[in-house]
Amino acid sequence: MLNFLMLVHGHQPVGNFDKVIEEAYAKSYQPFIEVLKRHPGIKLAIHFSGNLLEWFRDKHPEYITTLRGLVKDGQIEVFSGGFYEPILTLVPENDAREQIAMLSSVVEKTFSYRPMGGWIAERVWEPKLPQILAGAGLHYGVIDDTHFSITSKDLQKGKSAGGEIDDLTGYYLTEEGGKGFAVFPGSEKLRYYMPFKLPQETINYFKGRMYRQEDVTISFGDDIEKFGLWPGTHQWVYKENWLENFFRALEENNSWLGMMTFKEYFTTHKPTARVYLSCLSYREMQTWSLGFYRNFMIKYPEANNMHKKMLYLSNKVRAEESEVKRKSEDIENAKQEVFMSQANDAYWHGVFGGLYLYHLRSAIYQHMVEAEKLLDKVSNVKKAAEVEVIDFDLDGKKEIMVNTESLNLCFRPEEGATLSGLDYKPKSCNLIDTLNRKPEAYHLKLKQLLEEKRTKYAQSGNQPASIHDIWEVKGEGLDKLLFYDRFPRYCSLEHFINSDSSFEDFLRCRYFENGDFAEGAYQYRVKEKGKEAEIAFERNGLVASQAVNLSKTFNTRGTDLAGMYSVGNLDKEKSLDSIFGIEFNLSVFDADLAGKREIGAINSVEINDSWHNLKINFSWDKKANLWVFPVETISDSESGIEKTYQELCCFFWWRINLAAKEKWQNYFQLTIK
C-alpha cells in the first residue's frame, strides 16, 4: 500500500498590493478548493499564513465558510506556523512562539480545529527549530527530502549520507533541548512533477516506489500558488483540467494508493527512524543563499539592516514589557507591529523579487516605525531626544541612533559618517530604504541571452514550465544597465573626484575617487539639547595624497535636519583643486526628477514624493550643482528579468580651489513636510 500525504501552503507578503492578492485568489486559492470539493475522496492538509486568513475573512468570507465545511468533513487538515510567515530561527524565540500561538488560536477559533502540524517558512531548517515548534505545541512539519543527510540506519550500515532519497518513507523524529518533533520528508521530485507533468507520470512514479518498498508513505508540501498563479499554470491546471484529472487519477487508483491527512498518519503510525538535520532549505534556496539562508544577511547589507533593526525593536518591546510589569495596550500593539516586520519575504532574493521589491521593504519599515512610535508613547519621548551609541547591526562597528519626536536617524561614524536610516514618523516611513546595484549570477546569463538574441526560454508542448525554468527578459537594453555601486546607497557620502569627471561617469560608477572619506572612520561627538540633538563628525584624510580635514555637523529641529559641511586644506604649500560632492540617496519617487538631469547653480531643490505624499527640500548657503538620477536595479522575478526603480540619487557638488591652509564651509537644511 502507498500512502500519499499532501500539503499545500498559501501566503502573501505583508505589504503586498491588494490587486495582487485578489489575482491569487481568483487564479489559485478559490479554484483549487472548488475542484477539491468535487472529490471527497481526496484528503490533504492546507496552511495559510495569518495575514492571508485575515484577508479572506475581510474580502471573501464565503471562502472561510467553504474551508470550514471541508475541515468539519475531515477532508482538510489545517496547519499552523508563524502568523506573518517569519523565518522562525531568525526572530527571537519568544516572538516565534507567540506568532505560532497566534495562528494556532485563529485556526482553532475559525475552524474549530486545534492544529498539530506546523508550516516551516521557506522550509529553512536549523537545529533549534524543534525546540521552537514543539515549545509552541506543534508536533510535526514537512521539509524537503533533500534535507535528510543521514539516518540511524545509514550509520549502522556505515554510510556517510542519507542513502537513496526514494527510500525515505513516513516521518522521522528529531529533537533539540529535550523537545521532540517529527519531520515528514516532502518529495522534491513531486515538486517538479506537480503540476508540470501529466498526472499519469506522478502515478507511474508512485508505482515505481511500490516496486522498491511494499509499504511506502510519500509526502508532498509546496505552494498552492503554483496551482494557478505561477506563469502559465492557470490555463493548464484549471482550464485544461490538470487538477481535476490529477485528483481523479488518485481516486481511480485507491485500491493501492491511499490518501490520509498528516494528523491521521502521525497518530496511527510509528516513526521510521531518528534523524538530525543540517542547516538547509529547498534546493533552489540553497543556490540563491550560497548554501545557507543566513548568507542573505552577508550578501545584502540592506537585508541585514532590516533584520537587525527588527531585533533591536523586539528587544526594546520586551524591555518595556518587563519594565511596566502589567498589560499595556501600546506595548501589545508595538509587539504586533514588530511581528509584522518579521515577515520573511523582503529579507531575501531568489526567483521571486523579495528584497528587490521596494513596496515589500517599505512595509517592513513602516511596521517598525509604527512600533517605535508606540514605544515613544510609553517612554514619553516628547520630553527629550534620545541618543544611543551601539553596534545595533552586530558588525563590530558602532552606530549612533537618534530618536526624536519626529525622526529616527542612524549614523555610521566608522563608515564615512554616513546617514543610513532616516525614519519620518509622521508618515511612518524610512526615507533611506535604499538598495545597491550589485552583481547577480543571472546577470551573466542575461548578457549571454541577449547576445544570442533569445528572449524566451524554450519550452516543449503545451505544459507550463516550472517557475524555476522560465527565463524571459522584460525590456530592451537591460544588459546596458549592468553597472554596480562601490559604496552603500546612503546619505551624506562625501566624494572628491577629478575635475573632468562627467555626470555619466558618476551615474555608472566609472569616476575615480580621489579621497578616502566615503568609507573612512570619523571621530564624533554627541550633544543632547532637550528635544533636539547635535551630532558632529570630523576626519583628517587624503585627497590625491594631500592632507585634508573634513567635518560635518547635523542638528535635529522638529522634522528638519540642519547642519554644516567644512573642507579644510591642511597642506602648508599646495592648493587643493577638486570637485567636492555630497551624495544623498532617498527612497522617494518624483515624476519630474525620475529621469537623468543636470542642474546648475542652485541654492535649493524640492522633491515632490508621490510614494509617501510628502515634500523634501534641500537648501544650501553656497550655490550647488546637482546631478540627479534614478537608481535602477536589474533583477529576476517570477515573470522574468526586469528593471526596477529603487531610489533617487541627488549628488550636490562644487568646484573648490583652496589655497594652503584655507577652509571652505557650506550650511545646509533638509526639510520634510
Q: Which pLDDT band, with edges at 50, 70 and 90, does 640 fall under?
A: confident
pLDDT at 647 over 50: yes
Question: What is the spatial distance between Cα 240 and Cα 562, in angstroms, rounded to a whole number?
Answer: 63
Instruction: Give the cell for residue 637.
Output: 522575478
Per-residue model confidence as pLDDT tens digits over 513-526: 999 999 999 999 99
Would you state the pLDDT for residue 355?
96
Q: What mean pLDDT do residues 87-116 have?
A: 98
Q: What mean pLDDT value characterizes the chain?
A: 92
> Is 497 in contact with 578 (CB distance < 8 Å)?
yes
Q: What mean pLDDT do residues 395-405 have?
A: 95
Q: What secondary structure letter does DSSP report for 118? A: B
Helix (H, G, I), strand (E, B) or coil at 160: coil
Would you state the pLDDT for residue 384?
80
Percent of the chain past pLDDT 70, that is, above it, reads 94
Annotated catalytic, 598?
Answer: no
Q: What secondary structure letter does DSSP report for 168? A: -
Please give the backbone phi and psi of residue 642, each rounded to the nearest 5 degrees, phi first.
Answer: -145, 160
Please give the backbone phi and psi of residue 93, each rounded to the nearest 5 degrees, phi first.
Answer: -60, -40
Architecture of the CATH domain 441-672: Distorted Sandwich (2.70)
CA-CA-CA-CA dihedral for 264, 268, 269, 275, to nearest 10: 60
- Extract long-range pairs of 282-287: CB within 8 Å, 24+ residues apart: 282/122, 282/123, 282/144, 282/146, 282/188, 282/191, 283/144, 283/146, 283/188, 284/350, 284/351, 284/468, 285/122, 285/123, 285/124, 285/350
> Is 366 in contact with 503 (CB distance < 8 Å)?
no
2-288: what CATH class? Answer: alpha beta
Annotated catalytic, 223?
Answer: yes
Q: Which residues of 489-508 are buried (b: 16+ CB within 10 A; e: fewer)?
A: bbbbbbbbbeeebebeebbe
pTM for the predicted model, two decimal places: 0.93
Would you state the pLDDT for residue 464?
66
pLDDT at 198 over 80: yes
Per-residue model confidence as pLDDT tens digits over 263-313: 999 999 999 999 999 899 999 999 999 999 999 999 999 999 999 999 999
Indicate which residue of 95, 122, 126, 609 is catalytic.
122
**For residue 229, what are the contacts with CB-CB under 8 A and spacing of at least 6?**
23, 24, 27, 28
Instruction: Give the cell for residue 55.
Output: 484577508
Percent of the chain past pLDDT 90, that is, above it, reads 83
Per-residue model confidence as pLDDT tens digits over 199-254: 999 999 999 998 777 789 999 999 999 999 998 999 999 999 999 999 999 999 99
pLDDT at 191 over 90: yes
Residue 261: other Cβ atoms inside 10 A: 21
Would you state the pLDDT for residue 463?
65
Q: Which pLDDT band, with edges at 50, 70 and 90, does 144 fall under?
A: very high
- Could you tell me which of 539, 588, 543 has the C-alpha nearest to residue 566? 539
Q: Which pLDDT band, with edges at 50, 70 and 90, does 152 fall under?
A: very low
The domains of the chain are located at 2-288, 294-430, 441-672
Q: Sign (positive/negative) of CA torsion 264, 266, 268, 273?
A: positive
Instruction: Give the cell for residue 117.
Output: 502540524
Per-residue model confidence as pLDDT tens digits over 317-372: 999 888 776 668 999 999 999 999 999 999 999 987 799 999 999 999 999 999 99
> Is 578 in contact with 656 (CB distance < 8 Å)?
yes
Q: Which pLDDT band, with edges at 50, 70 and 90, does 530 fall under?
A: confident
Indicate which residue of 93, 167, 188, 223 is catalytic.
223
